[in-house]
Amino acid sequence: MSSVCFYFEVHQPHRVKPYGALQVGRDHEYFDEKLNAEVLRKVANKCYLPANESMLRLIERTDGRFRISYGVTGVVIEQMKLYAPEVLDSFGRLAKTGAVEFVAETYYHSLSALSDLDEFREQIDMQMKLINSEFGQVPRVFRNTELIYNDDIGQFIADQGFDAMLIEGADDVLDWRSPNFVYRAAGRDMKLLAKNYKLSDDIAYRFSNPSWPDYPLSAEKFAGWVHGHSGAGDVINLFMDYETFGEHQWKETGIFDFLEHLPELLFTHPQWDILTPSQVIDRYPALGELPCHRTTSWADEARDISAWQGNAMQQRALAEIYSLGTAIRRRNNSHLLALWRRLQTSDHFYYMATKSASDAEVHDYFSPYEGPYDAFIHYMNVVKDLKLSVLAPAQKQIRL
């Protein structure tokens, strides 16, 4: 047997509003709630609601043989509760089918794994509790923000008791290995599922690109490519943003039709089924150890962490926000702590990237600002205001 494993990332940041230098010390509202509400409702209507409907229908139609997994960040769930509670209800229905697995990550979709391990642990705990309370599951599998991974992170996560981690199938890390097998983290008994980035990105990025030689991509063609791996792999990991369906790839591109037909076409080959990550690791043994000396991710051409800390501005902004940790914790104020943590979300740093060519296009697509420099200025002003409030003597402290 061979399996396909779907993983969809569901995430929206609390975007920082345009916040000028003149507002510092005067304005303690940091987030662009109007924009955040607008984006969430738009994505809910274009993607989350219709895609969830499709998934539910497919699960019913295949008697639960179509299976999927999700990572739904804490910050997107906060916003769903505020702006589109029906989306959360619909994820709840999916959770009850028994064919849907929720994997763990950091509640704030943060880069804490690289900067502050205590904070990393706490944000994982928060997310575990949230998934349990919202969806009634206790995740066994972890995916770090944007698939950020290296040996140290792998060992840390293994030590938290997770059975597996999702990672990017970066060529240089896999080396001679195929992404289509299960591996083991260096020095720990934790399994690794590597994304098949070729097949994943055929759907996530190339699906509607008319200059791609394989355009248009039909479900038949794609199922054929998967079946072509028969006997040459245990699992094909298709990991992508959930927003691929209806948001990155509009409905008009035929992405929903593609999704609608794909499972049954995959099942036409008797040797193939579809499993969730936990089922994959229960069925397939690790082929061997997969060391990862550099830090990988699924972002940009480089598949490293340069999307968030590739320039001096990003490094400065990251250093600044994490430098506040001790002072914030000392204040013992849950609201303040939440503000600080929302400012850790990786997207804020992603908007500050100064990349070239095709990477820049992707960054621009996501950015709510006029460019990386304005993104940096707004962010740093907000952090400065937070810092002034936190570090001020007790009697002068502002209630944020």
- Among residues 27, 53, 152, 374, the one that binds other proteins under rule CB under 8 A: 374
- Among residues 371, 388, 397, 400, the one that binds other proteins under rule CB under 8 A: 371
d(CA 2, CA 181): 10
d(CA 278, CA 7): 12
- Cα 271–275–280 angle (5° rounding)? 95
Q: Does 315 bind other proteins (CB under 8 A)?
A: yes
Q: Does 316 bind other proteins (CB under 8 A)?
A: yes
Catalytic residue among 9, 119, 146, 247: 146
Q: Does 209 bind other proteins (CB under 8 A)?
A: no
Residue span 325-364 as binding mask against other proteins, x where in contact by CB under 8 A, dash where not: -----------------------------x-----x----
Q: How many residues bind other proteins (CB under 8 A)?
A: 20
Give, as one character, the DSSP assignment of residue 135. H
Reference 191, options 182, 199, 200; nearest CA is 182
d(CA 362, CA 351): 10
AA letter at 338: A
Q: What does the longest C-alpha to C-alpha distance in the chain come to?
A: 71
Tokens of 68: 């999927």
Q: Which stretch binds other proteins (CB under 8 A): 6-14, 49-57, 252-260, 369-377?
A: 369-377
Q: Whose Cβ is closer to other proteins: residue 296's or residue 381's?
A: 381
Q: Which of residues 1-30 bind other proteins (CB under 8 A)?
A: 18, 20-22
Q: Which stretch binds other proteins (CB under 8 A): 191-199, 214-222, 368-376, 388-396?
A: 368-376
Q: Does 373 bind other proteins (CB under 8 A)?
A: yes
Q: Where are the strands (E) in 46-150, listed by range?
A: 68-72, 100-102, 141-143
81 HSE (CA, 13 A, CB side): 9
Residues binding other proteins (CB under 8 A): 18, 20-22, 311-313, 315-316, 354, 360, 370-374, 376-377, 380-381
- Which residues are designated catalytic? 146
